[in-house]
């Protein structure tokens, strides 16, 4: 497995990554695809009514703006999600925002303590802690419109958004955010209901009645655009069944998972992110089991309840074989955040593997 310069630099602040990135290979291909990129692709497939070359891409997070999105499309990631935006400016947590973590084997879903540092060795797992920053809509809307235009034939730009708590009814802020994203021309919307920085047990996606209200409000505001909802890992299958019963017929798909929560500690046993941030979301290799399990469970409910939502499998994909495993588990599309950050050639490698 290659370790390359990541296109998002964990040593720089979110704002500096936004201004100066992407880095490494992605920096070279923002304006045009690498001329050596030559992959014979199979017949395009349909994903949520859009034609895509390979339903493989990068989920919400590491693609901060249209420059990152352009580079990712040029690198052959055919589904690119623009980092989650909000209806108003929201500052990022200070550094560190990303640290490598070193669980023994896979990570449990019990918010366990893990060693965190800056040794970014493969197979890589990281904690990310940003607090879902956003610029004001007057900055991100024109930029997202630019990102939408960057998609070539058989590529799709997905706009991720979330509402902000404490601003009146949360469902109304979600609906407003959805409308603002739709105005950019994004052909597919994704509502993030699983921000790990809002507390492990208080994730929106675990409150099925509230998710139903949010989905209904979004669909009323933007009835004509496919809607994905991004969820965390559900330990409790009955809760997942309840969520599917309430919204499985309203949404176009589930994107899962976001991250597993953990308590990153430095070598002295102190909170590695900051004393005020004892928990962080973990992504990368250590959570693949959880993403695959969620995909299998959602696929089983889809069949059992005769529904037809799509499933986007996310979590721990860092090899072409992992794409295949997610598709075999029932996913209609697969995405890689951590894996792509440290290996921007993963789409090309996956296409070659499948050719």
Ligand X SMILES: Cc1cc2nc3c(=O)[nH]c(=O)nc-3n(C[C@H](O)[C@H](O)[C@H](O)COP(=O)(O)O)c2cc1C
Q: Which residues bind ligand X (CB under 6 A)?
A: 8, 59-62, 83-84, 98, 128, 130, 132, 160, 192, 230, 258-259, 283-284, 287, 314-317, 336-339
Choice between 25 and 77, CB closer to ligand X: 77
Return d(Cα 159, Cα 192) in angstroms, integer.
10
The tokens for 136 are 């004001």
Choice between 305 and 324, CB closer to ligand X: 324
| Helix or strand holding residue 141 (H, E) | helix 137-150
Please, where are the H alpha helices in 38-127? 66-74
195 flagged as catalytic = yes
Considering only the C-alpha atoms of the chain, give the largest distance between any 2 of them, rounded to a whole number of Å: 53
Cα–Cα distances (Å) from 42 to 48, 53, 154, in that order, read 18, 7, 12
Choice between 132 and 222, CB closer to ligand X: 132
Bridge-based pairing of strands 125-128 and 98-102 is antiparallel
Nearest distance, CB of residue 342 and ligand X, angstroms: 10
Nearest distance, CB of residue 257 and ligand X, angstroms: 6
Nearest distance, CB of residue 50 and ligand X, angstroms: 19
Choice between 51 and 122, CB closer to ligand X: 122
Choice between 213 and 322, CB closer to ligand X: 322
Indicate the DSSP class of residue 148: H
What residue number has its CB nearest to ligand X?
Answer: 61
Nearest distance, CB of residue 139 and ligand X, angstroms: 16
Q: Going along the chain, which residue ranges are E strands?
A: 45-47, 50-52, 56-58, 79-85, 98-102, 113-117, 125-128, 156-161, 188-192, 227-231, 253-256, 260-265, 280-284, 310-314, 333-335
Nearest distance, CB of residue 77 and ligand X, angstroms: 12
Length of the chain: 355
Choice between 228 and 238, CB closer to ligand X: 228
Nearest distance, CB of residue 219 and ligand X, angstroms: 19
Ramachandran class of 166: left when φ > 0, alpha when ψ lies in -120 to 50, beta otherwise: left
Ramachandran class of 156: left when φ > 0, alpha when ψ lies in -120 to 50, beta otherwise: beta
Catalytic residue of the set 50, 195, 205, 283? 195
Please, where are the H alpha helices in 185-337? 208-221, 237-247, 288-304, 320-329
**Active site amino acids:** 195
């Amino acid at each position: 497995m290659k370790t390359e310069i990541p296109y998002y630099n964990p040593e720089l602040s979110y704002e500096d990554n936004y201004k100066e990135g992407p880095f490494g290979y992605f920096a070279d291909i923002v304006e045009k695809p690498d001329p050596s990129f030559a992959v014979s692709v199979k017949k395009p497939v349909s994903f949520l009514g859009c034609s895509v070359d390979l339903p493989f891409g990068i989920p919400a997070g590491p693609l901060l703006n249209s420059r990152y999105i352009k580079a990712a499309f040029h690198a052959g990631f055919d589904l690119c999600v623009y980092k989650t935006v909000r209806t108003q400016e929201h500052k990022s947590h200070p550094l560190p925002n990303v640290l490598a973590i070193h669980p023994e084997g896979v990570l449990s879903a019990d918010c366990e303590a893990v060693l965190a540092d800056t040794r970014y060795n493969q197979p890589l797992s990281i904690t990310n802690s940003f607090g879902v920053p956003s610029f004001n809509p007057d900055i991100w809307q024109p930029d997202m419109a630019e990102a939408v235009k960057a998609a070539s034939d058989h590529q799709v730009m997905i706009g991720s958004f979330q509402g902000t708590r404490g601003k009146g009814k949360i469902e109304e802020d979600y609906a407003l955010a959805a409308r603002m994203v739709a105005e950019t021309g994004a052909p597919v919307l994704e509502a993030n209901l699983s921000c790990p920085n809002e507390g492990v047990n208080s994730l929106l996606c675990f409150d099925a009645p509230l998710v139903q209200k949010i989905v209904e409000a979004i669909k009323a505001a933007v009835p004509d655009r496919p809607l994905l909802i991004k969820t965390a890992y559900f330990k409790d299958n009955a809760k997942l069944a309840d969520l599917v019963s309430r919204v499985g017929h309203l949404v176009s798909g589930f994107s899962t998972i976001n991250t597993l929560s953990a308590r990153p500690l430095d070598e002295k046993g102190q909170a590695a992110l900051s004393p005020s941030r004892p928990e962080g979301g973990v992504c990368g290799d250590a959570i693949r089991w959880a993403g695959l399990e969620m995909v299998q469970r959602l696929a089983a409910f889809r069949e059992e309840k005769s529904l037809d939502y799509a499933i986007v499998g996310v979590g721990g994909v860092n090899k072409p074989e992992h794409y295949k495993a997610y598709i075999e588990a029932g996913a209609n599309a697969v995405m890689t955040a951590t894996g792509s950050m440290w290996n921007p050639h993963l789409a090309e490698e996956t296409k070659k593997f499948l050719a």
